[in-house]
């Protein structure tokens, strides 16, 4: 009871103190109450299938709009801890999970991707009573204010990304598969900065997905140092403390293949690695319309 009250109050304060979406764009600083991502802007499915067989693997991933979680489940995982610096992302994961379990594909698609139906409360009315008090608070405040600044990346308004790259959006059968798998999968949300995650979990994992947190932390000058800095401060501690033998950490999703070829590829060689580390990359079709490919860098803990 106390927890649900805290959740409600925290959500209320988060939204009252929220800064405009522009702040995130200008500063690239993610906060506990930033505007929320509803969907990924990564081609997660295509790199996961090249990475590993995830059947029964334990995953740690960035929460965001939940798509790293959902793609991991579709790839076979039954246990996922997801973390985010932004407390409000937990509401989005709950909202999408409960909608997928209870509602048909066309209603889910209309709710998020049809401009006229966006966030239409009638669509979720039959399941609203099953939502946590924090999620109800989030939605009630949105319906009262109609403040689209609550959302950083909304499906219908960002045509830059090819959302058909997301498995359960592209294919109704995958949506229905997720509907069956979600109730039997353990998903835990941890409100944490990536830097502190090792202190917030006592688990070890087979696969860790750090999304493009690296990308959000660098300015384009001095990128070599930034990679070095990110790897030492964020990746290495997870590698040492939380990664199982043979485990892998996808530590940088790179949208810009030119940037990768011009300097990042070279700067990987300067990283100071544990002896049992191997670094590799995966090239995938780009999710950005107009780009050729995206690149995912990962390290493996050799046996
Ligand atoms: C990196 S962002 C960008 C969207 C991402 N490409 C995706 O596909 O979801 C995704 C999420 O990472 C979170 N995030 C950013 N920096 C973080 C950090 N240092 N620690 C934890 N979460 C972070 C943001 O709050 C956001 O929800």
Query: What residue spans define the domains of the chain?
Result: 2-301
2-301 homologous superfamily: Vaccinia Virus protein VP39 (3.40.50.150)
Q: What is the pLDDT of residue 156?
A: 52
Beta bridge partners of 60: 81, 208
Q: Is 193 in the pocket of ligand 1 (CB under 6 A)?
A: yes
pLDDT of the residue at 272: 87
- pLDDT for 19 equals 76
Phi, psi of 259 (to 5 degrees): -60, -40
Q: Report CA(29)–ligand 1 centroid distance (Å).
A: 10
| pLDDT (0 to 100) of residue 158 | 61
Nearest by Cα to 250 from 217, 214, 280, 210: 210
Q: Report how far ligand 1's centroid is from the alpha carbon of 212 (Å).
A: 7
Tokens linked to 289: 């319309």
Instruction: Please list the pLDDT of the chain residue by residue as tens digits (303 residues).
Output: 568 999 999 999 999 998 776 666 666 678 999 999 999 989 999 999 999 899 999 999 999 999 999 999 999 999 999 999 999 999 999 999 999 999 999 999 999 998 899 999 999 999 999 999 999 999 999 999 999 889 986 665 566 788 889 999 999 999 999 999 999 999 999 999 999 999 999 999 999 999 999 877 666 667 777 888 899 999 999 999 999 999 999 999 998 888 888 888 888 888 889 899 999 999 999 888 777 789 999 999 998
On the CB side of 82, how many CA atoms lie within 13 Å of its CA? 30
Q: How far, in Å, is the centroid of ligand 1 from the Cα of 138?
A: 19
Report strand pairing: 205-209 vs 243-254.
parallel
CA distance 214 to 206: 20
Q: Is the CB of 70 under 6 A from ligand 1?
A: no
Tell me the CA distances in angstroms from 54 to 58, 66, 193, 244, one per residue in order.
8, 17, 25, 14
Beta bridge partners of 18: none
Contacts of 115 (CB under 8 A, 6+ apart): 156, 157
Per-residue pLDDT, 277: 96
């Amino acid at each position: 009871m106390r927890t649900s009250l805290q959740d409600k109050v925290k959500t209320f304060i988060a939204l009252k103190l929220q800064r405009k979406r522009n702040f995130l764009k200008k500063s690239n600083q993610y906060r506990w109450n930033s505007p929320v991502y509803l969907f990924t802007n990564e081609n997660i499915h295509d790199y996961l299938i090249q990475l590993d067989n995830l059947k029964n693997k334990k995953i740690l991933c960035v929460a965001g709009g939940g798509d790293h979680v959902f793609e991991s489940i579709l790839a076979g995982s039954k246990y996922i801890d997801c973390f985010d610096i932004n407390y409000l992302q937990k509401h989005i994961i709950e909202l999408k999970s409960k909608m997928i379990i209870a509602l048909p594909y066309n209603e889910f698609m209309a709710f998020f991707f049809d401009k006229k139906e966006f966030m239409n409360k009638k669509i979720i009315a039959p399941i609203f009573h099953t939502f946590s008090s924090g999620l109800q608070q989030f939605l009630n405040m949105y319906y009262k204010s109609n403040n689209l600044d609550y959302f950083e990346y909304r499906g219908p308004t960002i045509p830059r990304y090819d959302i058909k790259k997301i498995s359960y959006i592209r294919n109704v059968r995958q949506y229905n598969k997720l509907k069956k798998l979600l109730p039997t999968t353990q998903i835990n949300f941890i409100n944490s900065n990536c830097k502190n995650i090792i202190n917030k979990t006592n688990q070890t994992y087979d696969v860790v997905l750090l999304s493009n947190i690296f990308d959000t932390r660098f300015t384009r000058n001095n990128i070599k140092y930034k990679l070095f800095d990110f790897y030492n401060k964020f990746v290495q501690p997870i590698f040492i403390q939380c990664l199982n033998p043979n485990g892998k950490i996808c530590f940088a999703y790179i949208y810009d293949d030119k940037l990768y070829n011009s300097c990042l590829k070279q700067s990987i060689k300067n990283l100071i690695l544990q002896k049992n580390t191997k670094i590799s990359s995966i090239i995938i079709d780009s999710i950005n319309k107009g780009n050729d490919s995206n690149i995912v860098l990962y390290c493996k803990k050799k046996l």
